[in-house]
Structure 1
Amino acid sequence: MDCGSADKKRGFQSSRLLRSSTDHLQNGNSELTVENGHTALVIGLKDKVGILARTLMIFEEYGINLSLIESRLSKRDKGDYEFLIVCEEKADKLDTVLDKLKEKAKYVQVLSPPSEKKTIPWFPRKIKDTDTLARSIVGYGADFEADYPGFADLAYHARRKEFADIAFNYKYGTPIPRVTYTINEIKTWGTVFGKVTELFPTHACREFNHMFPLLVENCGYREDNIPQLEDVSNFLKDRTGFTLRPSAGLISSRDFLAALAFRVFHCSQYIRHGSNPWYTPEPDICHELIGHVPMFADPNFAQFSQDIGLASLGAPDEYLEKLSTCYWFIVEFGMCIQNGQRKAYGAGLLSSFGELQIQMQGMGRQQPC
């Protein structure tokens, strides 16, 4: 996985997402101008009689004036509507209102940047708030650039959108929808699974090798089957209290770490394009289930991950950058010494046959943490 290119995409797509959302609602090309002290929201509502009036009553109940309301047919859910609403209140004063809106709306997205005077970034207070994190994506799962494997494959585009929509509409506490994977998708999984598992006995750390057979036994990890996220999530919950939630695309480092504080791991459900099973520019289900999940089933690693997540809550940006960089290198490319030998526990190594061989042969760059 080329994580550097994924990082570059994060910043580009974040700004693009804000522009395209506001432009489309205004049916123009000019950016939405939000006055200081105001907040812009996009709210997705089902096409039901009186639903908008009932939603707007929430603002009235809390004495919040609205300066703009625009509507359009939802691009995410056919037959439903979404509304751009600008309210005369700062985003950091709307926590209660946002909670009320989420009870009625299919999704709520805050478009306005945070107030400059705000010193503590917003963070989730309860596990249900991870629904908000999951929808604050900086790259939707169906958006590709020209060098992306499968860029010209329209069927793959449509398939990726199916997975992204499942994730975007998922709510905490409900079963993760099961997916019927195609023959080609299973073949791609089998190619990766069969190759990397050959190296686990000699290249993976003992904790990983202790958990992986349990996943084979309990979750259907095998060459001819792609495990379902719901089964894997239930297994993890019994082992360490961690759960999976499907991810619709790239999310920010802050949101990713905040979810770890509640022992929630954002997990891709789609699989890389079959034309190149050894490369993916973003984490796919091979990377997540083969590389990450076995370590989240280890109690010590699970506790470490939650501790990092807790440390990130409300942290200033400069602190968060150091914390996320440290955690990223550990969980993606981490290695340790066991019985005098180098062993891997990072998902970027354990889900990549080539990377794992290079590091174990001492050819890659290594640095103590």
Structure 2
Amino acid sequence: MNTSTPSSTLSPAQDQCAVSVRSLSKVFGSGAHAFRALDDVSVDIRKNEFFTLLGPSGCGKTTLLRLIAGFEQPTSGAVLLDGEDLSAKPPYQRPVNTVFQNYALFPHMTVSQNISFGLEMLGRPSDEIKRVTEDMLRLVRLESMADRRITQISGGQQQRVALARALAPHPKVLLLDEPLSALDLQLRKDMQLELKRLQTDTGITFVFVTHDQDEALTMSDRIAVMNGGEILQIGTPREIYDKPQHRFVAGFIGEINLVPVQAMGGQDYAISGVGTLRADDASAAAKGGRAVLAIRPERIALSAPSAGTLPGVVTNVVYHGTDTIFHLKLADGLELRARSQNNTAKIQSFAKGDHVGWSVDAASVSVLADDPS
């Protein structure tokens, strides 16, 4: 069934969407061997934004990307682009392009020839092909490499060529399937900034797939965290990091302390044998009064034991150059990690076996349901 809405009748909110995914499911196989890769997923991806699908291997993020591209057909649901249902359109008729992990460049062609190839296949005029190719070379900063063959340039330069080729026809949406995974660490970090620059300069909607949380936090306007074929939370990098709404999201993005507590009413939560913490975010329903507090290690302040702090014992100290992680043991065997920045100002340090006090601001505490599922 076609669930699209004519563009002339789109609501203001819908009109701002480049891609709308509606109740999308994908099942591979049948019977006892059936595998549900996507389970009733809905999401709106805005025009001109860098949107990232983030999650572990097998979570469904690449399947969702392939359904948008048209490389797979949904079991149910629909994919809309600018309000038009794309279900009946093959990949080559969709105004989207895809950059793959392996780049899929032609080794016998030059950089310029690779970039212009798609335009030639679309039958664009020769003067347009020349102009756009030159524009793309400037955009990815490879003007001096135009006449080199693909085998004569580095991996990072090849990645830029793949991006330029995909951007040349000016698609409405660019899909990127972990395109940085083959690069070494430093080059990957450099290309993160380049990708965001390209998205900003072109104004094209980027839909980026990755399992790397740093990539997602660095580049994205918004992130959808996926697991088990579902989207668990959508938000800006700051929202996802500071205010996770699900235990999986809290644990997948950065380091986190998950502390079981008993709700005391209002904003107060009791840690067994330790004391009470306050949380501004008290949105999670506590089954039987139970909940879990999610606390980032860098939000915990350490001091000598005193009134107004909770007690702990340092069990390990790990130096990381820019910061130090203190492992604490609390009552009832609970463990906690606190991260302190090694700045040039005088900082208070502690050694293994020291008794310390710790505290955290209520605004830095997220309350999650006790159920780990």
TM value normalised by structure 1: 0.30
* Structure with max Cα Rg: 2
Q: Which has the higher strand share?
A: 2
Q: Which has the higher helix share?
A: 1
